[in-house]
Amino acid sequence: MARKKVYAAIDVGSTEITLKIAELYKDALPRVLETLQRTLPLGTDTYTSGAISQPVLDACLQVLEGFVRTLEGYRVAECRAVATSAFREAANRDYALDQIERHSQLTLNILDNAEERSFHLLAASSRLPDFTSLISQGTLIVDVGSGSIQVTVYDKGQFIFSQNMLLGSLRIRDLLADLERRTADFAGLMEEYIASDLDNYRLLEPKGILYQNLVILGGELPYLKRLAGLDPEATAVLGTEQMDRLVQLLLSERPSDLASQSGIPVEHATLLLPTALILRKFVLYTGVKHLQLPSADLCDAVLIDFARQHYGFKPPHDTRQDTLNASRYIARRYHVNQHHTAFVEKAALLLFDETVRLHRLDARARLLLQVAVQLHDAGKYINMSKHHIQSRSLILASEIIGLSQRETALVAWTAGFHIGPFAMDLPGFSDLPQADRVVVAKLTAILRIANALDSGHQQKIASLEVGLETGRLVLQVKTRYDILLEIWALERQGRLFWQLFAHQPVIKIRSSRT
């Protein structure tokens, strides 16, 4: 097997900064060459004071500068550095990012929560054996971070639902720290705090799921595995009896004693009890007998993403389909007309594919169009009048797994412009970068045509073919119904496409007999 290029990933987490360097091969998972980890409680500053203090930032800079020196010993083709909630929630994050770039020459990308969780699912699905078979049954994936936990539900092989809760191990420890001296049952207090958020989750989760599998992700898993006598670096299965013994151990031992006896950094030792209590709550909630503990972290996900981009690696699970299923779940929640949406989705994707030489957008933009179609009528649940504005607001307020805040904004504005006036200088929309506004304009032009072809929400058109002629976008349709309403709507809603691409949409009708 020929040697491939070397890539690197850096995760600036809430309690630890990690560097992984790996070789990539075609059709294979990355082979890690070196891993470096440095414990640094960045999240403590953010979660308690709202900002990262300069002394902690200085320590972060020292670690990153050391990592850069390590990278110089390898011929690294590309390095991607990412940060999560400790930077995402810090009031001074812009200043901190500037210092990091000036001192280390690293550009630190702050992941939105939906991006971060999608990365974790990518790593878990690639590293966990038989993931596809696993999610064919009710599966709950609990990603326990330092600042929050993400709970994701799969069933019958499909993504069903995902919800984030500000219930991370570090956040719990620091928020409740001043109460530890005021109670003899600090563990019970933590459990009560955790239970209150889980009660709220139960109100939101989909009903009727029979859970067979519980998959746990999170930065403290290697240390919990070590205490349970398992290999910290390997995928493992933990029985519920082992879990109970682990909780009892953590209740009986002080973190400082665990650190000295087991070689666990003190900062991590203090997080093991809240992590274990969260896990026990989910064991009781699901009733499962075993916990699946894959060996997968954020750096793994970034490296797998490199392999997917540059070497054609195909993960066993398509996380893009999770994004689509997430948007469909939101659409169902707001009682969107599924028949109309299905028609418009099919038409919009056909239009996108057949007009690539005009719009020159990529596959990612196609996915954003698909999500926008699925949610363009969601605002009718709030108010039938000017529902496109309500749709935009609902999408902007939603977290769609796999989409960044920027991408969510593109979807929201595309859906919001599916009817009504379109203006590049509209307040709010004009705040987007010019390139993003052009993308929205192109996607909107396609969505408007697709939506016009089902103006009456009756799916009168049996089939659609799309062709490009000089100055014309020809829509050849088969129908046995009167489609005067659709023709009229196209004359109005097709103007944006004409303005953007100098091709006027026109309909040619072929009769369709029963």
Specify the pLDDT at position 3: 55
**Mean pLDDT across 8-19:** 96
- Name, in order, each residue with C-beta under 8 angstroms of 190's C-beta and a sequence gap of 6 or more: 172, 176, 273, 274, 277
Q: Looking at the domain assignment, is residue 490 inside a domain? A: yes
- Name, in order, each residue with C-beta under 8 angstroms of 20's C-beta and a sequence gap of 6 or more: 8, 9, 32, 34, 35, 299, 300, 303
- Name, in order, each residue with C-beta under 8 angstroms of 177's C-beta and a sequence gap of 6 or more: none
Q: Does one domain contain both 500 and 355?
A: yes
Q: Which helix (H) or strand (E) holds 404?
A: none
CATH number (domain holding residue 24): 3.30.420.40
Domain around 18: 6-112+301-311
Burial class (CB in 10 A: 0-12, 13-18, 19+), 388: middle
Assess whether pLDDT exceeds 60 at residue 2: no
Q: Looking at the domain assignment, is residue 123 inside a domain? A: no
Q: Does one domain contain both 372 and 467?
A: yes
Q: Which helix (H) or strand (E) holds 475?
A: strand 472-479
Instruction: For residue 102, name the pLDDT band (cuts at 50, 70, 90).
Output: very high
Q: Looking at the domain assignment, is residue 36 inside a domain? A: yes
Assess whether pLDDT exceeds 90 at residue 200: no
Q: Looking at the domain assignment, is residue 40 inside a domain? A: yes
Mean pLDDT (the chain) is 93
For 153-162, b/e burial (b = at least 16 CB within 10 A) is bbbeeebbbb
DSSP 212: E
Q: Looking at the domain assignment, is residue 25 inside a domain? A: yes
Q: How many whole angstroms separate alpha carbon 87 and alpha carbon 13?
A: 9
Taking a C-beta distance cutoff of 8 angstroms, is the pair 455, 489 a contact? yes
Smallest CA-to-CA distance from 201 within 152, 247, 139 is with 152
- Which residues face 6 on adjacent strands? 23, 76
Specify the pLDDT at position 7: 97
Q: Does one domain contain both 258 and 368?
A: no
DSSP 90: -
Q: Does one domain contain both 283 and 424?
A: no
Taking a C-beta distance cutoff of 8 angstroms, is the pair 461, 479 a contact? yes
The number of residues in the chain equals 514
State phi, psi for 16 to the nearest 5 degrees: -155, 145
Half-sphere exposure of 200 (CA within 13 A, CB side): 10
Q: Does one domain contain both 254 and 353?
A: no
Residue finishing a domain among 276, 311, 346? 311
Q: Does one domain contain both 88 and 214?
A: no
Taking a C-beta distance cutoff of 8 angstroms, is the pair 138, 209 a contact? yes
Domains in the chain: how many in total?
3
Half-sphere exposure of 246 (CA within 13 A, CB side): 26
Give residue-wise pLDDT tens across range 282-297.
Answer: 999 999 999 999 999 9
Give residue-wise pLDDT tens across range 436-451.
Answer: 999 999 999 999 999 9
Q: Does one domain contain both 281 and 176?
A: yes
Percent of the chain with pLDDT over 70: 98
Specify the pLDDT at position 183: 82
**Considering just the CA atoms, what is the radius of gyration of the chain in Å?**
25
Q: Does one domain contain both 227 and 260?
A: yes
Smallest CA-to-CA distance from 273 within 191, 154, 386, 390 is with 191
Residue with tokens 């805040």: 405
Q: Looking at the domain assignment, is residue 194 inside a domain? A: yes
- Name, in order, each residue with C-beta under 8 angstroms of 70's C-beta and a sequence gap of 6 or more: 19, 21, 34, 36
Give residue-wise pLDDT tens across range 236-283.
Answer: 999 999 999 999 999 999 889 988 888 899 999 999 999 999 999 999
Assess whether pLDDT exceeds 70 at residue 1: no
